[in-house]
Structure 1
């Protein structure tokens, strides 16, 4: 009998078998694909990942891009930390350059907005991690580079990265719409700036730090305002929100968290022995409720290489209201890239 005519799992209906296959860790997919041609076909389709999302068992997967110093081109990878440790999985390059583009994760998909090779562009590039394939989305109304962008309740918002006088300085896209298209979001001229250096979503509000202060946009109330001065002073651009606390690093390379309710920064205690000081910076992401830090370090090949390392930190509150971190996993030197390379994008997708 042809392999395609066999049930996925002998003795079980295929609909039950599909649920069993969907529950297997994604790190086991390369091994499971060798079971049979029918299993390989299933694992290469988006169905198991859609089912994982419906069953609320989707796994986080770290997605990074490394910008090479000589060519300016970016190398993209999926990183799977312990306990599902797997070698970095290369991702096909996007169709257009990603220098200056903003990244927005939304479930299993990554949206890259704008970018530049001397001239800002309006491209929207979409990577579907279920199919490991790029496609082009509806272009933005305004060409942008280094803009603020994030998703709030499934809707993508982008602002800045273009002339403050642009008619569509701020706009939004609902990817789930029947015919997705960008719509202008009204914004007062008083808040408009060109370059945005960091973006985060906190309490359903989109926060961005710019050349002069910062901006808060509340989509639910359609209101704009300034970021608290204390937040701006401690925000160095790359940040991540975990448990409604915004985390970044200070000028001494220490990881800190900003409590929005109390309006103050707190250093994360307990990381000094296991993690380096991030004097040269780090990239942060929320990895399934853990704070993930990715950083560059000097390689062992006489300074010819840069090594990429990353760690996952579990965060908790102390009795005095402080923040304590515990390193759950640490992966050192997982990628070796040319000297001078740097992490330009770091997001968490769900598979």
Structure 2
């Protein structure tokens, strides 16, 4: 009997430990409602309070609750390469009163020197895909960074090893498109990744070419800007529609004016043309023409630049992570140069920006 009582006491003690409330004296649903309203910049501190708080901040429940109640915040992530060809990842909180880029630690050593990697965001994770090195052919490896836990891990490998390829997200799936690699068995192929099954599926289409210069999701379709081919010297674009599952040639006028990084705001396509100065272009699909929105001051931008959009604000991110931001709607009504604010670049100005992505958490 004494032995049974002892076991019962241990079970009760264990149950008590597992049912420890998030905040003493509050039901967990109320505690979640309180904690989820704490700004994202303090989430790292929340993870240090207790194991239960750490697990909560990294959970799908936390992610879903903040998204459902419009509490989530968008941060910008930039993948860069320094003059020694080493990869670095930085993050920027665009809503902070003291905006500055911060270095993310822990990039897996295997990919620190890789070039031609794809980078894409799915949910709260950044995926770094494929790539190659001076003494390494194209890789099929995929690594991901969970922004909610600040941890790196390895994900399912690509169906085919790739480098210098396009990456986009459409219908909650990652598309790894085209690319190069001596072992690339099908250069007219692309892979799709399903996070629910943690697996890739391979596809093929003769209209897809391996030489890809840029990509963007626009009007629910993936657009790819291709380089000059052996048949034609002009730049052209192809488009993928999920309904028919095939690639077709895009509008020739649209392709001719797509001369730089692109971003979509409220269904409108913007391109940063850096071929002659720096100017922001907009595609008018109704009249099928490119129009100049505004020119950017050449002293503020450090080409080559990348673009991201947070709400109505466009962030132009250049060499050394020099950053200029402006509101598209406000600048539409102002003549002359773009009006905006800037963020100081890194102390190492030789850092080139490979890609910029957003995570809303």
Question: What's the TM-score bracket when you normalise by the shorter of the two chains?
Answer: 0.7 to 0.9
CA distance in 1, matches of 2:19, 2:251: 63
**Partner residue of 1:147?**
165
Which structure is higher in helix share?
2
The answer to whether structure 1 residue 346 and structure 2 residue 360 are counterparts is: no
| 1:308 and 1:336 in contact (8 A); partners too | no
Match of 1:330 among 342, 346, 353: 342
Query: Matches of 1:225 and 1:342 in 2, distance apart?
Result: 33
Partner Cα distance (1:208, 1:138) in 2: 25
- Displacement of 1:27 in angstroms is 1.4
Aligned counterparts of 1:185 and 1:240: Cα–Cα separation in 2 = 26
Partner of 1:263: 288
In 1, distance between residues paired with 2:248 and 2:330?
A: 29
**Structure 1: how far apart are the matches of 2:187 and 2:323?**
41
Distance 1:244 1:141 in 2: 32
Question: Shift of the alpha carbon at 1:10?
Answer: 5.3
1:292–1:59 Cα change, 3 Å? same
Shift of 1:311: 3.2
Partners of 2:188 and 2:210 within 8 A in 1:
no
Match of 1:62 among 76, 85, 88: 76
Aligned equivalent of 2:33 = 19
8 Å Cα contact 1:290/1:314 also seen in 2: yes
2:7 is matched with none
Task: Describe the shift of the 1:24–1:279 C-alpha distance in structure 2 as closer, same or farther (beyond 3 A).
Answer: closer
For residues 84 and 22 of structure 1, the distance between their equivalents in structure 2, rounded to whole angstroms, comes to 21
Cα distance in 2 for residues equivalent to 1:154 and 1:26? 23
TM-score by length of structure 1 reads 0.81
Aligned to 2:120: 104
Maintained 8 Å contact 2:208/2:247: no
The 2-side partners of 1:5 and 1:169 are apart by: 50
How far residue 30 of structure 1 moved from its aligned partner, in angstroms, is 4.7
1:287 to 310, 322, 327: 310
Does the CA contact (< 8 Å) of 1:294 and 1:311 recur in 2? yes
Could you tell me how far 1:9 is from its partner in structure 2?
4.3
Q: Deviations over 1:131-173 (max 9, x none)?
A: 1112222211221111112111101112210378617712212
In structure 1, how many angstroms separate the alpha carbons of the residues matched to 2:189 and 2:51? 49
Q: Structure 2 CA distance, aligned partners of 1:38 and 1:112?
A: 28
8 Å Cα contact 1:173/1:181 also seen in 2: yes
Does structure 1 retain, via aligned residues, the 8 Å contact 2:46–2:54? no
Shift of 1:261: 3.3
Structure 2 vs 1, CA of residues 69 and 279 (structure 1 numbering), >3 Å: closer, same or farther?
closer
Considering only CA atoms, is the larger Rg found in Structure 1 or Structure 2?
2
Q: For residues 233-263 of structure 1, what are the alpha-carbon distances to aligned partners after superposition, in whole Å with 9 as ceiling and x for unaligned? A: 2223422222222222221211222233332
Unaligned runs of 5+ in 2: 1-16, 229-235
- RMSD over equivalenced CA pairs, Å: 3.2
Matches of 2:288 and 2:54, distance apart in 1? 52
Conservation of the 8 A alpha-carbon contact between 2:76 and 2:358: yes
What displacement does 1:59 show?
Answer: 0.9
**2:243 is the counterpart of 1:220:** yes
Q: Which has the higher contact order (CA 8 A, sep 6+)?
A: 1
* Aligned partners of 1:234 and 1:265 also within 8 Å: yes
Counting strand residues as a fraction of each chain, which structure ranks higher?
1
| Structure 1 residues 165 and 234: alpha-carbon distance in aligned structure 2, compared to 1, 3 A threshold | farther
Structure 1 unaligned spans of 5+: 297-306
